[in-house]
């Protein structure tokens, strides 16, 4: 017997039917809910490649390397084939994030980006965004 999963979206909610059935065993989810209560919608979890039924499965920065030994390297959990953008700001009070030059196409389950200018700027805050 051969089981073929469809990449279709018969209910038009932006979530592939095979993904909805694999995680929820139904097509009743529309992507706007937060099944596991982790603060991310089911659609955001689909895009990030995280498990929408497990609150511990989250998209996050894993670690930063030391700025004293060269450029800061930002590591995060990733989904191969997805594109990511790293942003920074110098103060949490700043309202605008700045992009580090060049998006990152993940080739593995961990992505990384170097910030060669961090050594000369002092304190920096980072965030990683999934590029749709």
List all residues 6 or more positions away from 3 whose beta carbon is below 8 Å from its beta carbon.
none
Q: Taking the CA atoms of 70, 114, 108 and 24 in sequence, report the sign of the dihedral they define.
A: positive
Q: How far apart are CA 50 and CA 57, in angstroms?
A: 6
Residue 25 to residues 45, 56, 109: CA-CA distances in angstroms? 16, 20, 26
* Portion of the chain with pLDDT greater than 90, in percent: 14
Q: Taking the CA atoms of 114, 117, 118 and 124 in sequence, report the sign of the dihedral they define.
A: negative
Which range scores top for mean pLDDT: 11-15, 92-96, 116-120? 92-96
Residues 7-46 pLDDT 10s: 688 888 888 888 888 899 988 989 898 999 888 888 888 8
> What was the pLDDT predicted at 45?
84
> What was the pLDDT predicted at 2?
47
pTM for the model stands at 0.64
Mean of pLDDT values over 43-70: 76
**CATH numeric code, 61-131:** 2.60.40
Please answer whether residues 77 and 109 qualify as being in contact, where contact means their C-beta atoms are separated by less than 8 angstroms.
yes
How is the chain split into domains, by residue range?
17-48, 61-131
């Amino acid at each position: 017997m051969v089981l073929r999963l469809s990449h279709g979206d018969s209910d038009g909610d932006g979530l592939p039917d095979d993904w909805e059935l694999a995680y929820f065993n139904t097509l009743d989810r529309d992507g706007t809910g937060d099944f596991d209560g982790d603060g991310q919608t089911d659609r955001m979890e689909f895009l990030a490649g995280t498990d929408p039924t497990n609150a511990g499965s989250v998209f996050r920065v894993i670690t930063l390397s030391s700025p004293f030994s060269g450029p800061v390297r930002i590591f995060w959990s990733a989904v191969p084939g997805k594109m990511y953008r790293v942003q920074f700001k110098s103060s949490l009070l700043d309202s605008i994030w700045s992009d580090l030059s060049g998006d990152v196409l993940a080739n593995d389950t961990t992505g990384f980006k170097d910030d060669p200018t961090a050594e000369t700027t002092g304190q920096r805050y980072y965030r990683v965004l999934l590029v749709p």
